[in-house]
Structure 1
Amino acid sequence: MLDLARIRAITLDLDDTLWPVWPAIERAQAVLAQWLRAHAPATAERYRTPAALRAIRDQVERDRPDLGHDLGALRRESIRLALAQAGDDPALAEPAFALFFAERQRVDLYDGALDLLAFLSARYPVVALSNGNADVHAVGIGRYFAAALSACEFGVGKPDPRIFHAAARAAGVEPHAVLHIGDDATLDAQGALGAGMQAVWINRTAQPWPHAGPAPATVDGLGQLHGLLR
């Protein structure tokens, strides 16, 4: 299903591909809540429930559509708005977000992730390509990547073909020479195919392919990629 002879570079999603994202987000939210209780108690009390936090995030998404591609900026502005509405100092959003962001980088890699990164990076230039705000250097895996590209830096996110093409340029190859690997059927697999790349879909939960036409090469975890790419 893959034309291995065409592959000259790899682009690789991060969240829910190399690690599960929600445990990291939940830890970061807990650390943020603890910090707010100490430094902005009115905000901590007003936004102590998941529903209240979701409502403030939804409001920022409605009011600031320009931030739709930048999850970090959305989080920072949500904190700033929560502080202002609760009567606390909005300037506290900066240290609060810095704390959240640092904790968000503390991820638990899936089994086999480091072996896969070593395998891929020994054979190809590897470019991280993410709609999220993980930092491969802060996570501790930057040595495996030739470059990293995120939606917040580039201005648009997957599945827009422009960000895939920018990642190919960062790897120094044409899009047809790239294999993209990711967990999202639409953002990753279909997006890469639409950009003229090959794709591997990591489908850990045996979901049906949601698009017309045949599914791309599909695996149920990182361990199967070694055999697929040999």
Structure 2
Amino acid sequence: MTHQLDVSRIRAITLDLDDTLWPVWPTIHRAEDVLRAWLDTQAPRTAALARDKETSHRARQQVQISRPDQTHDLAVMRREAIRQLLHWAGDDPALAEPAFEVFFDARQQVTLFDDALPALQALSARYPVVALSNGNADVHRIGIGQHFHAAISAAQFGVGKPDRRIFTAAAQAAGVPESAVLHIGDDAHLDGAGALAAGMQLAWINRTAEAWPDAIDGQPHAVAQDMQALCRLLGI
């Protein structure tokens, strides 16, 4: 794939978080383990339901059906799925709030890819960097907030990637037009299609050497195996 990156155009960076700076699923699985351990002491019947994959999946589906206006907000989806399990188990639904906080705190305990922090330090020294995520990671609670000019999430904004409006909002947060932004992300559809539709340059972090999907209109301007490789392409 030919790189068409125009470094001279870049005045700001928008940056995906999950699976770009850290692997998300190990983080989520650890947080779920912490949640279930908490439920063991506070609501054992709910804990038993939470350990059943089919029941947990059914709770999430129920929330998606009952709260379709909130599907962009993963925190709401998670909290209300916990509430549904509490209800089914006959436990106090009010425990959903403290239970979610236990999960949410553990969800911030990420393990960065080795290349992530040095690259983030280099990028933020040169450009304003705006976190742009559909997830509910908090860069300040994680401990990397000092490297970000701003952070925009789907939950905060009301729509998520690949909707071009959230990319436009991120460019506005950086104080530049979309054409002056380099968006960096791992998801070809959510990050790639959205950024290209918004008129941004796109750097695709492709850690697993996947093929770019033919269905997406356009190509990434740069492809890198990791964040440090991207920094080399940027000359920083």
TM-score bracket, normalised by the shorter chain, equals over 0.9
Instruction: Tell me if 1:107 matches 2:101.
Output: no
Say which SS state the counterpart of residue 93 (structure 1) adopts: helix
C-alpha distance in 2 between matches for 1:63 and 1:208 = 37
> Aligned partner of 1:229: which letter?
L
Instruction: Tell me if 1:86 matches 2:96.
Output: no
Q: Residues 118-155 of structure 1, C-alpha deviation per residue, up to 9 Å, x if partnerless?
A: 10011000000000000000000000000000000000
Say which SS state the counterpart of residue 130 (structure 2) adopts: strand
- State whether residues 189 and 216 of structure 1, in contact with CA within 8 Å, keep that contact through their aligned partners in structure 2: no
C-alpha distance in 2 between matches for 1:214 and 1:153 = 29
Instruction: Tell me if 1:15 matches 2:34.
Output: no
Identity %: 62
C-alpha distance in 2 between matches for 1:4 and 1:18 = 21
> Aligned partner of 2:134: which letter?
N
Equivalent residue in structure 2 for 1:227, among 204, 208, 232: 232
Q: CA RMSD in A?
A: 1.0
Instruction: Tell me if 1:187 matches 2:190.
Output: yes
C-alpha distance in 2 between matches for 1:191 and 1:134 = 20
Instruction: Tell me if 1:58 matches 2:61.
Output: yes
Unaligned runs of 5+ in 2: none
> Aligned partner of 2:229: which letter?
Q
Q: What is the aligned partner in structure 2 of residue 172 from structure 1?
A: 175
C-alpha distance in 2 between matches for 1:124 and 1:45 = 48
TM-score, L = length of structure 2: 0.95
Q: What is the aligned partner in structure 1 of residue 210 from structure 2?
A: 207
- State whether residues 69 and 151 of structure 1, in contact with CA within 8 Å, keep that contact through their aligned partners in structure 2: yes
Aligned length: 230
Deviation (angstroms), 1:213: 4.3
Instruction: Tell me if 1:216 matches 2:221.
Output: yes
> Aligned partner of 1:9: which letter?
A
The runs of 4+ residues in structure 1 deviating greater than 6 Å are: none
CA gap 1:20/1:97 in 2 versus in 1, 3 angstroms: same
C-alpha distance in 1 between matches for 2:49 and 2:97 = 19
Say which SS state the counterpart of residue 122 (structure 1) adopts: helix
Say which SS state the counterpart of residue 126 (structure 2) adopts: coil
Query: Counterparts in 2 of 1:121-200, with a 5 A limit?
Result: 121-200=124-203
